[in-house]
Amino acid sequence: MIVLGIDIGGSATKGALVDTETGQLVSERIRHKSDKSKKPKEIVKDIHKIVKELNYNGIIGAGFPGIVKNGVIGTSANLHKDWIGANLAKMIEDETGNKAFILNDADAAGLAEFRFGSEEAHKANVVLFLTLGTGIGSALFVEGKMLQNTELGHLLLGKYEVEEHASAAVKTREKLTWKQWAERFNEGLKMYEYLFSPDLFILGGGISSHFDEYSNYFTIKTKIIPAKLQNLAGIVGAAVAAQEKLQ
């Protein structure tokens, strides 16, 4: 089935049509810029633009960078505070006339990676997927079942949350070398390892394509691998989740 997947992020809202059987994009990926000052209504308008640009009519899946329950946004660390309490599923339905399913962006990406990414994820009992962008997102799988809204990027390490210390955006902003960044992120990994004893870590987001440049600096005992789907995982997972929940 072909479904529109949307990934709402700290710097852009992206969307594309996804073949939910194969996990492949079957259209171009459209991108509309956003930042913390952009209000929910404007972002929903951007989603409507994507729908029109792709000439689409059908169910929509969207990943949002915060806690999501029953289509309603619970937290918004890197986007406008007006999102908190907003019923995004209803807003998209009212604006576009299409039914929508919303989930956390990292849960969407983790779902796609689990379904279409590395085989290794299926062999492990506990898998912790982490995705790095403006923030740090997490998706925790136990025997293939995902615990939603884990929000592990907000775990405090001393004074700072892991994402305030070691997200991809922080690396860029503070001009950190791979070594400097990896040593910081390693502190978070060590804590996740201690708390959850995962069998496998999967690292997603744009940064995962540079895995060989920094993976030597990690000192955890647990195996860590880069995600296969990289930046597209959020779009693909949102489309797959919508197909499963709304069809």
**Counting contacts by CB under 6 A, is residue 5 touching ligand BGC?**
no
Q: Which of 7, 13, 163, 237 binds ligand BGC (CB under 6 A)?
A: 163
Q: Which of 15, 135, 198, 237 binds ligand BGC (CB under 6 A)?
A: 135
Going residue by residue from 104 to 133, which x/- string records binding to ligand BGC, judged by CB under 6 A? xxx--------------------------x
Q: Which of 4, 18, 77, 236 binds ligand BGC (CB under 6 A)?
A: 77
Quick one: 66 or 98, whose CB is closer to ligand BGC? 66
CA torsion sign for 104, 205, 153, 172 is negative
Q: Which residue is nearest to ligand BGC (CB)?
A: 135
Q: Name the token pair of 220.
A: 């955890």
**Counting contacts by CB under 6 A, is residue 231 touching ligand BGC?**
no
Q: What is the smallest separation between the CB atom of 106 and ligand BGC, expressed in angstroms?
A: 4
Report the relative pairing of strands 30-33 and 12-19 from DSSP bridges.
antiparallel
**Counting contacts by CB under 6 A, is residue 65 touching ligand BGC?**
yes
CA distance 193 to 190: 5
The answer to whether the CB of 203 falls within 8 A of the CB of 217 is no
**Counting contacts by CB under 6 A, is residue 226 touching ligand BGC?**
no
**Counting contacts by CB under 6 A, is residue 34 touching ligand BGC?**
no
CA 86 to chain centre: 19
CA distance 144 to 72: 25
Q: Which of 137, 198, 226, 237 binds ligand BGC (CB under 6 A)?
A: 137
Quick one: 40 or 137, whose CB is closer to ligand BGC? 137
Q: Name the token pair of 37.
A: 């000052």
Query: b vs e for 26-60, b when ≥16 Cβ sit within 10 Å of the residue's Cβ?
Result: ebebbbbebeeebebeebbbbbeebbeebebebbb
**Counting contacts by CB under 6 A, is residue 237 touching ligand BGC?**
no
Backbone dihedral angles phi then psi of residue 150, each to the nearest 5 degrees: -75, -30
* Residues forming the site for ligand BGC (CB under 6 A): 65-66, 75, 77-78, 104-106, 133, 135-137, 151, 153, 163
